[in-house]
Chains A and B, each alone.
Chain A
Amino acid sequence: TQLLEQSPQFLSIQEGENLTVYCNSSSVFSSLQWYRQEPGEGPVLLVTVVTGGEVKKLKRLTFQFGDARKDSSLHITAAQPGDTGLYLCAGSSGNTPLVFGKGTRLSVIA
């Protein structure tokens, strides 16, 4: 069974601080996605990474896929209250259903 471990589980920081969320597995994934979910809503796709070592930037968010395609990280620079939410990583491999991590609940305090 493929598992994705996310850390930290909870994170509370002050506005303007930087943070990194990690997503690790012992399995290789052909692609990995990051989502953000707000209370009462469905997850919204932020990015998909498919190549080992790939780095993608989305404004203040930087996503990295590990060289071995077993892990990924999400780095947020100068966090803002609007970044508050549940961040989920999800991995895909072949025809298997998408595997979700347990999520990181981020709270950015103004």
Chain B
Amino acid sequence: GAVVSQHPSRVICKSGTSVKIECRSLDFQATTMFWYRQFPKQSLMLMATSNEGSKATYEQGVEKDKFLINHASLTLSTLTVTSAHPEDSSFYICRGSLRGGYGYTFGSGTRLTVV
């Protein structure tokens, strides 16, 4: 089945630093990658949608200059949290999708803690 590998699974960083999260589709070409944030005991909140080779579309309220998304190839998308603050601490999850299909596959998530 389709697999999305997400790294790192956990990261602790100091306030003000930047953190990069990678999602790789291992056996399919993820033409679209969705990035979500999930706070404790809550559902997934869509942050942005990226299509390979084009700029990401951000949801309302999500700062595009703070959450940089790159989807340079059909198998790799990255989310960089810049100048992280404690309120950015959350569980970040990516989801790869095949265009036109129901091929939704989630990564395993990244627990970010900003201290």
CB neighbours (8 Å) of B108 from chain A are: 41-42
CB neighbours (8 Å) of A42 from chain B are: 4, 6, 93, 95, 106-109
CB atoms of A88 and B106 under 8 A apart? no
- Interface residues in A2-33 by Cβ distance below 8 A to B read 31, 33
- Within 8 Å of chain B (Cβ to Cβ): is A40? yes
CB atoms of A98 and B34 under 8 A apart? yes
How many residues of chain B have a CB within 8 Å of chain A? 21
Min distance, Cβ A42 to any Cβ of chain B, angstroms = 4
Q: Which secondary structure dominates chain B's binding surface?
A: strand
Q: Contacts A88-B43, A97-B49, A103-B43: A43 and B106 contacting too (C-beta < 8 A)? A: yes
Pick the contact of B104: A33, A41, A102, A103 (CB < 8 A). Answer: A33
- Within 8 Å of chain B (Cβ to Cβ): is A45? yes
CB atoms of A100 and B34 under 8 A apart? no
CB neighbours (8 Å) of A50 from chain B are: 102
CB atoms of B102 and A88 under 8 A apart? no
- Within 8 Å of chain A (Cβ to Cβ): is B74? no
CB neighbours (8 Å) of B64 from chain A are: none
- Within 8 Å of chain A (Cβ to Cβ): is B44? yes
Pick the contact of A100: B44, B105, B107 (CB < 8 A). Answer: B44
In whole angstroms, how far apart are the Cα atoms of A101 and B9 in the complex?
24
Residue ID in chain B nearest A6 by CB atoms: B43
Closest 8 CB pairs of A and B: A42-B106, A102-B43, A42-B109, A103-B43, A42-B108, A100-B44, A100-B43, A42-B93
